[in-house]
Structure 1
Amino acid sequence: MENIDLAREMRARLYRECRERGQFSSRDKAASAFSVENVKISASSLKDFETGKRTPSPNLVLDMARVYQTPELKWLHCSTVCPIGLEIYKKGAGLGTEDIYRTYFELAGAFDRINDVETSLHEIIADDAFTPDEEEKMDEILGVLDKITESTDRLRVWIEKSRKGAR
């Protein structure tokens, strides 16, 4: 029961914080903005999402991200609510835009290792078999690829937010 309450609290924080980042101080103001965009959603539905009583549909999450101008909502929703996203993001990609420079350096570091990754991967798959002695090397390969994926996700959110600000 405690895990369910924690998950509900995380969802409440996620949707509320994105609404507030979008400069909507109240659910009523947000509902009005959705109406202008021809998206039918009430303030009480927003409350249900923000308190974890209900989960918005994927299409509604896309609308929320667009109206709130918080592209990170798509990634955060997938990584914390969606069953498929939970599996993909089980390592916690930590999608934020607060430190794009750290993201850049992490990505650059991963790119520096990519030639070694390619060579190691080729050695592992060349014989069409995966043996126990190759497990540690494969974990290293996956670690580098995971770092590239996580950095790419953070970079994508930063780019989307930057594009919104430039318009």
Structure 2
Amino acid sequence: MFSLDTAASPPPDPRQALARADALCQERGVRLTELRRRVLEILWNSPTPLGAYAILDVLREDGRTGAPPTVYRALEFLLEQGLIHRLTSQSMFTGCRQPGSRHDGQFLICQDCGQVDELNNPAIEELLRAEAAAREFEALAQRVEVLGRCPDCRRGAIDHAA
């Protein structure tokens, strides 16, 4: 039987996340260029996921010039290295809380405030693999995104209703 331990990992300090990304890229022999690092930093410093154009806006506020393809190339590199996740339902990106291990992750997305909680529960991944295999379906990727309301927004809705 699968263990459904749903405890999410707390978000790391952005400085720790960047240091971990630097170390992983060095171990893998790939370059975390200044732009790629800045894109990752922007994602980690944002309280909610961001789209490519929002990232481009922050880069322009920094005084950098660039076009969307530049940001998309940086995002593609960060995705390939497992340093960020693409939230398909939102067309946005968020930092990965466990960048040392390859995984697709499961995400709880608050529809009110945009907060995202990353679960990374291997039991859920295994259950989905087993269900796919039982149906002779070849699963190439798993991306579970659950849309709902976070505890803070639920409390706010309850407070406003009272």
Whose Rg is larger?
1
**Greater share of strand residues, 1 or 2?**
2
The structure where helix makes up a greater share of residues is 1
Q: Same fold (TM over 0.5)?
A: no
TM-score, reference length from structure 1: 0.30
